[in-house]
Amino acid sequence: MANKDLRDWIDTLEKADQLQKINGANHEEEIGGIVDVYQRQTGNKAVLFDEVPGYPKGYRVLANLLTSVPRINLTLGMPADTPEIGLVNYWRGYMKDKVTHTPKQVESGPVMENVFGGNELDLLKFPTPKWHELDGGRYIGTGCMVIMRDPDTGWINYGAYRSQVHERNIATVMCSKGKHGDMIMRRYHERGEPCPIAVVCGMHPALFMVAGLEIPYGKNEYDAAGGLLGESVEVIHGPRTGLPIPANAEIAFEGFVHPNDRRDEGPLGEWTGYYAGGLKQEPVIRVETLMHRNNPILMGAIPGIPPDDDSFYRGSYRSGAVWNQLEAAGVPEVKGVWAHAAGGSRLWLTVAIKQQYGGHAKQAGLIASQCHAGAYANRFVVVVDDDIDPADMDKVIWAMCTRFDPREGMEVLRGCWSTALDPMSYSETDPRNARVVIDATKPWLRRDTFPAVVRPSKELDQRVFAKFKDVLPKR
Ligand SMILES: Cc1cc2nc3c(=O)[nH]c(=O)nc-3n(C[C@H](O)[C@H](O)[C@H](O)COP(=O)(O)O)c2cc1C
Ligand SMILES: [Mn+2]
């Protein structure tokens, strides 16, 4: 049986009342403007645009994919009402168990319903939006998979790297330094060879999720995606590059990036909530094959003022990753981690611990701020006691307001790992930043004398809930 695809995902959303259909919005500015409105808070529905002026009916655009916890749950095959911390624990298990399924090659699939090469090929046939008013162009690849093959080992890697469309057969791709795609491409170019590349812009969102997560170097994201889906991903071979492409993808194109072939790209509104990077020269993809399903759906995962579709879903994963790394570093009794969406799921981390000894909170905070999963582009780490739900910002702020002593409880760290996307990094050429670790736990030496918290005992709570559950708000 074929894999679940984007259309199955859309059906699931419709049944769960998680999808809004909108007809008649134009690609120049209205789709982008509407998506921004949908992303002003989490929990809004996904949006499916059709009847885009100037394009055939049925050529659709889908956005605001994973900005709600229920939709992330549904994508992973979990009950829609699984709470945040359940999602964090799902990712913790996924990272520890490392379940994988290798992809399965098939001869053909729906993505080959329409295949074009040469003069017939036209990347401009889709209603690719200009997502933000001040963007430098139209981005066909945001919620995408960019697939490459290591020239030495044959390792297949895919990541979400943005792709701007320029002409009928020309796009660009932007891989930041150190990303696997950047490393692989440079290996071809150092020996003067063109780099084969394939871009997929519409597939089951579980495949997209993996594209944006830091799957370790040398590992094939298709294997990891198979682990998420619970089955091997069926792939066809790209006719010109031989690269694996999901058989039921909506839109895919393949071609070559030649050495020193660059072109102006950007800016794009980014996940920190600012236009970043400006206009830069980025690698050109000379497209040789374009494939798409009948009535294709272009998928967008749009960065913007967070919470946004670039960073939100990664928050629960990052929380799980930081939690696992704290444990691996020997920090005991970590009870929860939450990467807050408003910081793009990177800039703010809250760690809850059950304090065991003097200095425990400081240790947890400093390690969270510097471990691999937490270090990049962080600004705040806040450590709280285990009576505080780290995902509940009211309670976190309450703890900061009532348990934090600025004289002892704050460490400023300088010269840390960040990015030029961080508006407060030192400079374009020195993208390090400064950050702070805040201990908002009850002071260890006052643990027995700290004022008692005004909350009924567990026993009283249970008694009133047992007796009055019909009239009480859900716990
Ligand atoms: C929606 C979305 C857009 C992204 N855009 C880019 C991008 O344009 N360039 C980039 O280098 N990373 C981008 N990322 C981050 C990478 O996808 C992420 O770091 C991933 O781990 C890269 O794959 P790799 O580890 O195989 O290099 C984006 C992530 C998401 C979710
Ligand atoms: Mn990778």
> Which residue's CA is the nearest one to ligand 1's atom 12?
161
Distance from the alpha carbon of residue 283 to the mean position of ligand 1, in angstroms: 16
pLDDT tens string 3-59: 999 999 999 999 999 999 999 999 999 999 999 999 999 999 999 999 999 999 999
Distance from the alpha carbon of residue 230 to the mean position of ligand 2, in angstroms: 20
Torsion sign across C-alpha atoms 328, 313, 268, 259: positive
Res. 91 pLDDT band, cuts 50 70 90: very high
From the alpha carbon of 162, which atom of ligand 1 is closest? Answer: 8
Residue 392 has pLDDT above 90, yes or no: yes
Nearest CA among 86, 35, 83 for reference residue 62: 35
Ligand number nearest CA of 155 is 2
Residue with tokens 């933000």: 132
Alpha helices in 293-420 (DSSP H): 312-328, 360-370, 372-375, 393-403
Res. 456 pLDDT band, cuts 50 70 90: very high
What's the mean pLDDT in 109-126?
A: 98
Distance from the alpha carbon of residue 445 to the mean position of ligand 2, in angstroms: 46
Cα distance between residue 71 and residue 392, in whole Å: 20
Cα distance between residue 259 and residue 192, in whole Å: 6
Cα distance between residue 67 and residue 430, in whole Å: 32
Cα distance between residue 102 and residue 91, in whole Å: 20
Distance from the alpha carbon of residue 325 to the mean position of ligand 2, in angstroms: 19
pLDDT tens string 230-263: 999 999 999 999 999 999 999 999 999 999 999 9
Cα distance between residue 470 and residue 121, in whole Å: 62
Integer distance in angstroms from the first to the last C-alpha of the chain? 41
pLDDT tens string 274-294: 997 788 999 999 999 999 999
pLDDT cut 90: percent of the chain above it: 95
3-state DSSP assignment of residue 59: coil
pLDDT score of 350: 98
Reported as type and span, the H/E element at residue 85 is: helix 84-97
CB 277 within 8 A of CB 136: no
Nearest CA among 435, 228, 388 for reference residue 317: 228
57: how many CB neighbours lie within 10 A of its CB? 10
Query: Which of 62, 65, 161 has most ligand 1 atoms within 8 Å of its beta carbon, as the pocket-test mutant?
Result: 161
From the alpha carbon of 179, which atom of ligand 1 is closest? Answer: 27
From the alpha carbon of 183, which atom of ligand 1 is closest? Answer: 27
Cis peptide bond N-terminal to 307, omega within 30: yes
What's the mean pLDDT in 138-145?
A: 98
Cα distance between residue 227 and residue 94, in whole Å: 8
> Which residue's CA is the nearest one to ligand 1's atom 18?
212
What's the mean pLDDT in 303-330?
A: 97
State which amino acid sits at residue 275.
Y
Rg (CA), the chain: 23
pLDDT score of 474: 81
Distance from the alpha carbon of residue 332 to the mean position of ligand 1, in angstroms: 32
pLDDT score of 339: 97
> Which residue's CA is the nearest one to ligand 1's atom 28?
160
Query: Which of 95, 131, 144, 162 has most ligand 1 atoms within 8 Å of its beta carbon, as the pocket-test mutant?
Result: 162
Cα distance between residue 127 and residue 165, in whole Å: 11
> Which residue's CA is the nearest one to ligand 1's atom 13?
161
CB 431 within 8 A of CB 425: yes
3-state DSSP assignment of residue 98: coil
**CB-count exposure of residue 96 (10 Å: 0-12, 13-18, 19+):** exposed
CB 91 within 8 A of CB 63: no
pLDDT score of 420: 87
pLDDT score of 475: 72
- Strand ranges in 363-441 using DSSP code E only, listed in sequence order: 380-385, 410-416, 433-439
Ligand number nearest CA of 218 is 2
CB neighbours of 115 closer than 8 A, spacing ≥ 6? 239, 289, 290, 291
Crossing angle between the packed helical segments 84-97 and 312-328, to the nearest 10 degrees: 60
Query: Which residue(s) pair with 47 in the sheet?
Result: 20, 63
Residue with tokens 């998928």: 299
CB 332 within 8 A of CB 64: no
3-state DSSP assignment of residue 364: helix
Helix, strand, coil percentages in the chain from 3-state DSSP, rounded to 5: 30, 25, 45
> Which residue's CA is the nearest one to ligand 1's atom 25?
214
3-state DSSP assignment of residue 188: helix
Please give all residues whose beta carbon lies within 6 A of any atom in ligand 1, as ranges: 142-143, 157, 159-162, 174-176, 179-181, 211-215, 301, 310
CB 111 within 8 A of CB 171: no
- The reported pTM is 0.94
CB 162 within 8 A of CB 173: yes
Distance from the alpha carbon of residue 152 to the mean position of ligand 1, in angstroms: 23
Average of per-residue pLDDT values in the chain: 96
Residue 132 has pLDDT above 90, yes or no: yes
Reported as type and span, the H/E element at residue 281 is: strand 280-292
pLDDT cut 70: percent of the chain above it: 100
Residue 395 has pLDDT above 90, yes or no: yes
Res. 177 pLDDT band, cuts 50 70 90: confident
